[in-house]
Amino acid sequence: MLHITLRQLKVFEAVARHLSYSKAARELHLTQPAVSMQVRSLEESIGLPLTEQLGKRIFLTEAGREVFHYSHNIAGLLSDMEAVLTGLKGLEHGNLKIAVASTANYYSTQLLTRFRAIHPTITINLDVTNRQSIIAQLVANQIDLAIMGLPPEGLDLQTESFMENPLVMIAPPTHRLAGKKTIPLRDLVQESFVVREEGSGTRGAMERFFREHGMSPRLELVMSTNEAIKEAVQAGMGLAVVSLHTVLLELETGRLVILPVEHFPILRHWYVVQREGKHLSAVASAFKEFLLTHPLPPVSLRSRRKSPPGEANPA
């Protein structure tokens, strides 16, 4: 008879999914030594090593892969049980577990605030992270819903589009291209770009766009937040492609401008996403319904495209 605890399995499941003690610690809000200790005591109870470290990388042993398979299923079942029990308590005592792409965070708080005004007693767990991490959480059945760009096919996810997400090219108002009426793509060959980290949906869409147009621009500066990118562009470190949702304030105050580059904006959409077959709690299905029936007013590109001082506003 094995003497193992659900907690040990939960911790090991996170380590095995990330293949990283530090990422698992961050996700579970634990310290790294606490995570290592749980995995060590699980290994002691089982009597076999579950992970091995080669250089800096962690690998699962054969026993580790078996335990991961079962712990992953157990974690999913526990989460489903929690949703069913929460459902029995009714919508007003529900807890909404949602992850949103960092770019969607520019409007998701507004949506959650409006939803909570209708259901003031619900609790909300919001994780703001990038596309790759959201997909991992959906697949691991750790969240009810996600708000993100279109996920890749073949993952057993259910997706519904609820809003447009135009990607625009931004520059400081003093940039040499800022006054132009239209900018051919070839004029960007000499420009360097500030880009989001690998795993960002915005970055993926931008790379796809350039590939489709036979361009390979210089992606010299990589930053993991939209805020850092906006600061860098304002400081003249390069151009960037960002969601229009992230720059409304800077366009309003004239700290950034949109460059009218040909074939822009890149048209994307926002999706509400859940695992196929996921039993949504009352609060999660109410939020999804709210999202699909109470869209925010679309962000319009024309009224945002400010010309630098001295130029007529094309809008």
Contacting positions for ligand PGA (CB under 6 A): 101-103, 130-131, 148-149, 196, 200-202
Q: Cα–Cα–Cα angle for 231, 233, 237, nearest 5°?
A: 110
C-alpha to C-alpha distances, 234 to 153, 167, 228, 259, 309, nearest whole angstrom: 36, 18, 10, 14, 16
Rounded to a whole number of angstroms, the minimum distance from the CB of residue 292 to ligand PGA is: 18
Nearest residue to ligand PGA on Cβ basis: 201
Place of tokens 């949506």: 111
Q: Tell me whether residue 137 is exposed, middle or buried, using C-beta atoms within 10 angstroms of its C-beta: 0 to 12, 13 to 18, 19 or more.
A: buried
Rounded to a whole number of angstroms, the minimum distance from the CB of residue 230 to ligand PGA is: 13
What is the CA 39 to chain-centroid distance, rounded?
28
Which CB contacts under 8 angstroms, 24+ apart, belong to 30-35?
35/11
Residue with Cβ nearer ligand PGA (152 or 214): 152
Q: Cα–Cα–Cα angle for 289, 292, 293, nearest 5°?
A: 85
Positive or negative: CA dihedral 187, 217, 253, 249 = positive
Give me the residues paired with residue 157 across strands. 275
Residue with Cβ nearer ligand PGA (130 or 274): 130
Residue with Cβ nearer ligand PGA (131 or 230): 131
Residue with Cβ nearer ligand PGA (80 or 164): 164
Residue with Cβ nearer ligand PGA (75 or 205): 205
Residue with Cβ nearer ligand PGA (97 or 131): 131
Rounded to a whole number of angstroms, the minimum distance from the CB of residue 195 to ligand PGA is: 10
Give me the residues paired with residue 171 across strands. 257
Q: Tell me whether residue 184 is exposed, middle or buried, using C-beta atoms within 10 angstroms of its C-beta: 0 to 12, 13 to 18, 19 or more.
A: exposed
Residue with Cβ nearer ligand PGA (105 or 285): 105
Rounded to a whole number of angstroms, the minimum distance from the CB of residue 154 to ligand PGA is: 17
Rounded to a whole number of angstroms, the minimum distance from the CB of residue 26 to ligand PGA is: 17
Rounded to a whole number of angstroms, the minimum distance from the CB of residue 166 to ligand PGA is: 12
Rounded to a whole number of angstroms, the minimum distance from the CB of residue 193 to ligand PGA is: 14
Residue type, 42: L
Rounded to a whole number of angstroms, the minimum distance from the CB of residue 202 to ligand PGA is: 3
Give me the residues paired with residue 107 across strands. none
Strands (E), the chain: 51-54, 57-60, 95-101, 123-129, 145-148, 157-171, 192-196, 218-223, 240-243, 257-258, 266-275
Cα–Cα nearest to 171, from 188, 151, 186, 157: 188
Residue with Cβ nearer ligand PGA (149 or 260): 149
